[in-house]
């Protein structure tokens, strides 16, 4: 109990330190050379928007930096207080079938975690509502949260069943067999995501604006993307933020626009955004992400298996865990994978930022319209209350995209390449 109190005090002090850093200590002033440029937020945001952007971004960043260690603390709490072994004993009293034991144990652990993290997730939701990023009623937010819970439970049960099956078969090579099974499963998930998972949360329908649809499909044809339709999704029921994407593989490829993007961007800006998303497809980023996920899972499972064996041998008896194949050890495994994912996050972010910049380059070279490109990102900044130049620590851990400062500055530099040609073309048309 004393250790638990000390851990709780440590977590509170950590939260206070992160709050001070983000609100007062972090340096994120715009460099002098960019002041007055297209990337300077004072050039396209009013004082109120600047204030809201700063406050909203820093609070959301703080919530992230709290949520990650909170997950770790929950797993340690479940282990340290003997809750895991009690849940194992409880589910074994229900039935003699091990598959049901696993499903019920995962349900209890997931529910406990869901309850303990609910206050922070609800606070994040209310902040988004207060700053008018989210417009989703509480009922709709709860519905999505419950869908998240049950979808997550199903996939966790399947994953745990596979992992513990192989642990029982081979305590040394279970990670390799689990990884081999994960490959077709990961590919399958990429394939069904647009047509099975995404529609659980939102309604998708063909783009209503036929003129814009033809422009986008023409752009797709130029990019050699085999798309016959463009989809619109009713995100305005939930948010004021903007987005668009191309996802799925094979016959399930989808070009999707949020209706908020259609409402707040003009056609040229939308075409730039879509050209960016198409750039991901053309440069095979979707398949690179798939391969990257498979490679990372290989190393994650390998390292995880080694750390798991060490942790069980060192603390297993204290936690009431009878061996590697004991379901009561699941919080240990989840804690390890969460820690490994956190460590790998900055590397994944760096790779993602490179891909995003390549997609920006592809889009600007396809559309040849720097003004629309810059205008699109300025509007994205306003609508999402994004911080143009976030603190380095935030960028390191959270940013899978270049900062708005980097993106707008990069795209604005293309004015020297394309604007003279466009002006000359306009003059000829006037003559």
> Which residues are marked as active site?
277, 360
What was the pLDDT predicted at 359? Answer: 95
Q: Are 73 and 7 in contact (CB under 8 A)?
A: yes
Contacts of residue 279, Cβ cutoff 8 Å, sequence gap at least 6: 223, 285, 358, 359, 360, 361, 362, 363, 366
Is 217 a domain residue? no
Structural domain harbouring 343: 2-203+283-424
Question: Measured between alpha carbons, how far is 112 from 399 in angstroms, rounded to an integer?
Answer: 29
Is 159 a domain residue? yes
Question: Measured between alpha carbons, how far is 187 from 191 in angstroms, rounded to an integer?
Answer: 6
Is 16 a domain residue? yes
Is 332 a domain residue? yes
Which positions make up the binding site for Zn(2+)? 276, 280, 356
Q: Is the dihedral of CA 141, 144, 146, 152 positive or negative?
A: negative
Name the DSSP letter for residue 31: P
Which positions make up the binding site? 276, 280, 356
Number of domains into which the chain is organized: 1
Is 304 a domain residue? yes
Q: What is the pTM of this model?
A: 0.88
Question: Measured between alpha carbons, how far is 151 from 199 in angstroms, rounded to an integer?
Answer: 13
Contacts of residue 208, Cβ cutoff 8 Å, sequence gap at least 6: 232
Question: Measured between alpha carbons, how far is 253 from 262 in angstroms, rounded to an integer?
Answer: 20
Question: Measured between alpha carbons, how far is 100 from 162 in angstroms, rounded to an integer?
Answer: 14
pLDDT 10s per residue in the chain (431 long)? 677 788 889 999 999 999 999 998 888 789 999 999 999 999 999 999 999 999 999 999 999 999 999 999 999 999 999 999 999 999 988 888 889 999 999 999 999 999 999 999 999 999 999 999 999 999 999 999 999 999 999 999 999 999 999 999 999 999 999 999 999 988 888 888 888 888 888 888 888 889 999 999 899 888 888 777 888 999 999 999 998 887 777 767 788 899 999 999 999 999 999 999 889 988 988 889 889 999 999 999 999 999 999 999 999 999 999 999 999 999 999 999 999 999 999 999 999 999 999 999 999 999 999 999 999 999 999 999 999 999 999 999 999 999 999 999 999 999 887 766 554 554 455 44
């Amino acid at each position: 109990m004393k250790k638990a109190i000390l851990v709780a005090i440590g977590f509170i002090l950590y939260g206070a330190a992160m709050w001070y850093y983000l609100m007062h200590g972090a340096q994120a002033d715009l460099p002098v050379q960019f002041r007055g440029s297209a990337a300077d937020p004072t050039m396209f945001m009013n004082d109120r928007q600047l204030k809201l952007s700063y406050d909203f971004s820093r609070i959301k960043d703080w919530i992230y930096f709290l949520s990650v260690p909170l997950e770790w603390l929950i797993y340690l709490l479940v282990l340290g207080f003997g809750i895991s072994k009690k849940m194992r004993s409880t589910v074994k009293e229900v039935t003699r079938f091990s598959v049901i034991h696993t499903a019920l144990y995962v349900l209890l652990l997931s529910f406990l975690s869901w309850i303990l993290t609910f206050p922070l997730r609800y606070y994040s939701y209310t902040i988004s509502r207060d700053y008018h990023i989210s417009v989703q009623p509480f009922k709709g937010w709860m519905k999505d949260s419950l869908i998240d819970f049950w979808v997550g439970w199903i996939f966790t049960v399947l994953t745990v069943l596979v992992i513990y099956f192989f642990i029982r078969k081979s305590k040394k090579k279970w990670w390799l067999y689990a990884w081999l099974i994960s490959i077709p499963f990961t590919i399958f998930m990429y394939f069904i995501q647009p047509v099975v998972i995404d529609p659980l949360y939102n309604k998708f329908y063909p783009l209503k604006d036929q003129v814009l649809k033809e422009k986008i499909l023409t752009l797709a044809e130029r990019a050699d993307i085999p798309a016959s339709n463009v989809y619109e999704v009713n995100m305005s029921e939930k948010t004021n933020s903007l987005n668009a994407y191309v996802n799925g593989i094979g016959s399930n490829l989808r070009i999707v626009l949020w209706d908020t993007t259609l409402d707040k961007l003009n056609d040229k800006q939308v075409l730039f955004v879509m050209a960016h998303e198409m750039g991901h497809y053309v440069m095979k980023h979707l398949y690179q992400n798939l391969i990257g996920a498979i490679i990372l899972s290989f190393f994650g499972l390998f390292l995880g298996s080694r750390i798991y064996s060490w942790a069980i041998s060192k603390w297993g008896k204290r936690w009431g865990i009878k061996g590697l194949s004991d379901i009561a050890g699941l919080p240990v495994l989840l804690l390890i994978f969460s820690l490994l994912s956190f460590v790998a996050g900055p590397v994944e972010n760096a790779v993602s930022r490179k891909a995003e910049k390549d997609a920006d380059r592809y889009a600007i070279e396809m559309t040849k319209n720097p003004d629309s490109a810059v205008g699109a990102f300025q509007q994205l900044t306003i609508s999402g209350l994004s911080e143009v130049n976030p603190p380095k620590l935030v960028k390191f851990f959270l940013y899978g995209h270049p900062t708005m400062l980097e993106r707008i500055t990069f795209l604005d530099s293309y004015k020297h390449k394309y604007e003279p040609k466009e002006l000359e073309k306009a003059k000829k048309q006037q003559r």
